[in-house]
Amino acid sequence: MTEPRYWDDYEVGQKFPMGSTTFTEQEIVDFARQFDPQPFHVDAEAAKQSMYGGIIASGWHVASKMMRLFVDHYVDRRTALGSPGVDELRWLKPVRGGDTLTGWVVCAAKVPSKSRPTMGVIHEQWEVTNQKGELVMTTKGINMVRRRTS
């Protein structure tokens, strides 16, 4: 991206690629040991006996890696002003070592700020699929973006 992407440049329905990332079982376990040490994330034997049949990634790990792609491939650091949060985060299918996830951001809506005329709000929908094309995660997020000055 050579030119800055301002709020004014977004179109509802526009789809942006976030790129792809691959998970290893070791990184799944390492993340979970630190942040989400449930047995099906950290213990191969317990995970095998669980409803998942093996080690799966914490949803927070999936969201964190997708956030990294979001910042690296979608956010325009010249115009992005942060986010007041997400409205919805869904983990639809387990992610396992060896899985490669690909993400997209769709501009679902855009609203000019009433209190700050120099910015607007973008409502986004993330769609994340695995290498089989299965939807594994969705998110509805909100981002504040600088508006083009007149």
CATH number for position 34:
3.10.129.10
Q: Where does residue 45 rank: exposed (0-12), middle (13-18), buried (19+ CB within 10 A)?
A: exposed
Structural domains counted in the chain: 1
d(CA 6, CA 86): 21
Residue 127 resides in a domain: yes
Residue 25 resides in a domain: yes
Question: What mean pLDDT is reported for the chain?
Answer: 97
Residue 84 resides in a domain: yes
Q: What is the pLDDT of residue 141?
A: 96
The answer to whether residues 7 and 112 touch, using CB atoms and an 8 Å cutoff, is yes
Residue 135 resides in a domain: yes
Band (149; pLDDT cuts 50, 70, 90): confident
Residue 73 resides in a domain: yes
- Average pLDDT of the residues in 88-107: 98
List Cα–Cα distances, 124 to 31, 74, 75, 127, in angstroms: 27, 11, 12, 10
pTM for this one?
0.94
Domain span including residue 121: 7-146
Residue 1 resides in a domain: no
- Residue 1 pLDDT exceeds 70: no
- Average pLDDT of the residues in 60-64: 98
- Residue 150 pLDDT exceeds 70: no
Q: What is the pLDDT of residue 105?
A: 98
Q: What is the pLDDT of residue 2?
A: 85
Work out whether strand 85-91 and strand 100-112 pair parallel, antiparallel, or are unpaired: unpaired
Residue 72 resides in a domain: yes
Residue 59 resides in a domain: yes
